[in-house]
Amino acid sequence: MQHHPLASKLRDDFPILKREINDFPLAYLDNASTTQKPQCVIDSLLDFYSTHNSNVSRGVYTLAEEATEIYEEGRENIAKFIGATDSGNIIFTRGTTESINLVASAWAQHNLKTGDRIIVTEMEHHSNLVPWQMAAQASGAELVYWPITSEAGSSAGSRLDLQKLDELLTDSVKHHRNFRLLAVTAVSNVLGTVNPIAKIVEMAHERGIPVLVDAAQAVARMPIDVTGWDCDFLAFSGHKVYGPTGIGVLYAKKERLDEMLPFQGGGGMIRQVGRQSSTWADSPQKFEAGTPPVAEVSGLAAALDYVSDVGIYEIQKHEKELTAHALNRFAEFSDLELYGPQDTCDRTGVLSFNLRNVHPHDVAQVLDESGIAVRAGHHCTQILHERLGVAASVRMSFGIYNEVSEIDHLFSTLDRARDIFLD
């Protein structure tokens, strides 16, 4: 088996990769959906429940103090990982979806009014689209789409055109239409396109428009710098960066947190409770009602430490090499339709495609028979797939443990799919 130097060094850290599926070694190529967990993350969860399990900020006994320390140190580590200067800007949620819904509920619905507009892109995951639809419907605001470039199967296609954004913003000023928020993904979960977040934020801020960044696909693949980007909100999930499920992060600037009302009511988020009304704790506790996910925070902190030890730039290099190899293999086949940029410039190792005249689910099933895990469907991006002119696609996506040999195995298996469905 062909090994990539980085992958071969790390694969033993991931217990699940020792599995066989249908008598084949597991080739896990669905990292855009969720990543596998290194042993250090599994150990952190076990250690918490075995030796420290307690609620936080609720007791003066030793276990409670240890749990609180683990929880707040995790918050500090996560802030550092994404370039935030203050851990108080970090709110824990159950995932990217809840983080975005928190903003849509706690900020948008209280700051939007009839006639206001929200910009979203055509490449957004439903989690960065449906909450804005709901906020717009509740407030009377309007959703405006920033389209992707045409020529989806070319190097120039499937990107966001900054000139189009400028036109949208200029038209809004000209016609006295008030844009109140721009919501954009850092990396498309279908196209693999890397968007120029810093420039997008700069353009929006010049017109006084806050920006929310969906970093779910970016956090395990590239450096995140909320201070350098100057974004107002940023959301990501732990399970997409080698951490546990059930834990997510919302970063928000202090001034935005001050504009937000509580998302949920209950214990932990109050300052004082009266018979008819209550007052709220300061951020971030104001948005963390109930028993917090302490074990999951410890697991996420362990995952981010692991990624930092490997080195995010090494991870980028590794993924670029895998992506380049996959793109070269795609070029060998005339019946494979690849969506997204056709080169490695401003794209990551998320590659969606179709085998012409074969349903994506059939392709995925044949791949699974050879131990290859990929995703098939619309990937929670129905608007984007409609724009691409297809109902669904097959998606492979890379992680730090993937190897060139696994990509070659996939393409060999696609030959078998052709024999089954097209002969």
More confident residue, 35 or 269: 35
| pLDDT at site 1 | 40
What's the rounded mean pLDDT across residues 127-139? 96
Q: Domain of 366: which CATH number?
A: 3.90.1150.10
Residue 399 lies in a domain: yes
Overall number of domains in the chain: 2
What's the rounded mean pLDDT across residues 211-226? 98
Nearest to 220 by CA among 28, 4, 37, 15: 37
Same structural domain, 241 and 338? no
CB 83 within 8 A of CB 92: no
Neighbours of 373 (CB within 10 A): 16
Q: Report the number of secondary-structure helices (H) and strands (E) in the chain.
A: 15, 17
User: Domain of 319?
Assistant: 5-30+312-421
Compute the distance between CA of residue 403 and CA of residue 409 in angstroms, rounded to an integer.
10
| pLDDT at site 161 | 93
Nearest to 103 by CA among 80, 8, 42, 111: 111
pLDDT band of residue 173 (cuts 50, 70, 90) is: low
DSSP β-bridge partners for residue 248: 93, 237
Same structural domain, 252 and 388? no
* pLDDT tens, position by position, 248-284: 999 999 999 999 999 899 999 899 999 999 999 999 9
- Residue ending a domain, choose from 308, 336, 351: 308
DSSP β-bridge partners for residue 120: 145, 183
| pLDDT at site 157 | 67
* Run of H or E residues at 181: strand 179-185
Same structural domain, 127 and 171? yes
Same structural domain, 298 and 325? no
- Residue ending a domain, choose from 253, 276, 308: 308
Of 40, 231, 345, 380, which one is the catalytic site residue?
380
Same structural domain, 291 and 319? no
380 is catalytic: yes
Same structural domain, 318 and 303? no
Helix (H, G, I), strand (E, B) or coil at 81: helix
The reported pTM is 0.95
What's the rounded mean pLDDT across residues 332-341? 94
What's the rounded mean pLDDT across residues 391-412? 97
Indicate if the alpha-carbon torsion angle 115, 235, 224, 155 is positive or negative.
Answer: negative
Residue 38 lies in a domain: no
* Run of H or E residues at 237: strand 233-237
* Run of H or E residues at 393: strand 393-397
Work out the percent of the chain whose per-residue pLDDT is above 90. 90
Same structural domain, 231 and 327? no
- Residue ending a domain, choose from 255, 290, 308: 308
Neighbours of 357 (CB within 10 A): 9
Structure tokens at 117: 């507009």
Q: Domain of 230: which CATH number?
A: 3.40.640.10
Compute the distance between CA of residue 274 and CA of residue 174 in angstroms, rounded to an integer.
49
Mean of per-residue pLDDT scores for the chain: 94
